[in-house]
Amino acid sequence: MKDQRAYRRIKRRIFDIIQLGNVSDWPSRVFDYFLVAVIVANILVMFLETFDSLRRYQGLFDAVENVTVAVFCVEYALRIWTAEFLYPKVGRLEAVRRFLLSYDGIVELLTILPFFFLSGAVAFRMLRVVRIFHLFRINATYDSFNVITSVLREKRNQIASSLFIVLILMLASSLCMYSVEHQAQPDKFANALSGMWWSVSALLTVGYGDVYPITTLGKVMAVIISFLGVGAVAIPTGIISAGFVEQYGKAQGKGTVLEGLEAIHVQADSRWLDQTAGTVEREAGAMLLAVRRGGTTLRPDAGYRVAQGDELLLKR
């Protein structure tokens, strides 16, 4: 029995270390930096291998890739082994299943698979690019990335509407350009969809110049469509900018005390992260009235464990 408790403590400690963004635990912080260094080294080797002038260093590149992929494999195995702590409310097998199907689990797997299938199909070799998304997983645990994801999540309906407008403009401009340019350039504007490449480059103000109108009416329409493109690009940009301003305003008001009540938003570096409600009340010297998690407000018991993103309402 004692051996089982010691085994579980070790397992829990390993889980705490490999969890990303725990700034209060220095071994976990060191692991984060080490993992970032490994990912950067792996991606750097992936880029350097494409230079013919560096072929003489291929042995070194292979060695670095072997070591970094070995680290990825060990990390993946440890995360599967400790999945029960990531999903404590379900059984071990269910916890493992949830991890394997989660964003982190899929990225981890796709980071490893290409190493073993590099000589296979092109699709497997292209999966090497997925290793770059490993950096997103690292950054997602820190506040700077949380602000971006919060803005995109809260403004998703407005962004989707603006992108829908851009899509309509692309289809309309492609049809219009086909109507006036098809006879003059049947090879460039063979059908309505063949003008889509031009409409994309024009509306997004890229203007590659490989496909362009040559008729007078087509040029006039191109000028109008280009002006519309400037406004179309500005719409989602303005929505996202307004979202950042709102998030900044919320951050400024974070922790404000009102009539004895204090609202604390738990971030990755918060001292209350992963603490129980009883510990929070004892160390803060206040009563934890409620916790808002997502869109739900609940009254926590003493054993409730605080998670990142929770908003704590304390009464001193």
- Could you tell me which of 44, 35, 103 has the C-alpha nearest to residue 71? 35
d(CA 205, CA 72): 41
CATH 3.30.70.1450 occupies which residues in the chain? 257-315
The whole-number pLDDT of residue 63 equals 92
CATH number of 257-315: 3.30.70.1450
- List Cβ neighbours of 48 (8 Å cut-off, separation of 6 or more): 54, 57, 61
Q: What is the pLDDT of residue 121?
A: 46
Q: Where in the chain is the domain with CATH 1.10.287.70?
A: 156-252
pLDDT at 146: 63
pLDDT value of residue 132: 62
List residues bridging with 169 in a β-sheet: none
pLDDT computed for residue 313 by the predictor: 81
CATH code of the region 2-141: 1.20.120.350
Q: What is the pLDDT of residues 120-140, one digit of tens each?
A: 444 555 555 665 665 665 555
Task: Supply 150's token pair.
Answer: 């919060």
Low-confidence ranges of the chain (pLDDT < 50): 120-122, 255-258
All CATH 1.20.120.350 domain ranges of the chain, comma separated, are 2-141
Tokens, residue 169: 């403009």
Distance CA 287, CA 9 (A): 30
**CA distance to 35, 123, 203, per residue, from 42 (Å):** 11, 19, 37
Residue written as tokens 């999903």? 87
What pLDDT, on a 0 to 100 scale, did the predictor assign at position 286?
Answer: 78
Cα distance between residue 167 and residue 241, in whole Å: 21
CATH of domain 156-252: 1.10.287.70
Alpha helix ranges (H) inside 253-293: 277-284
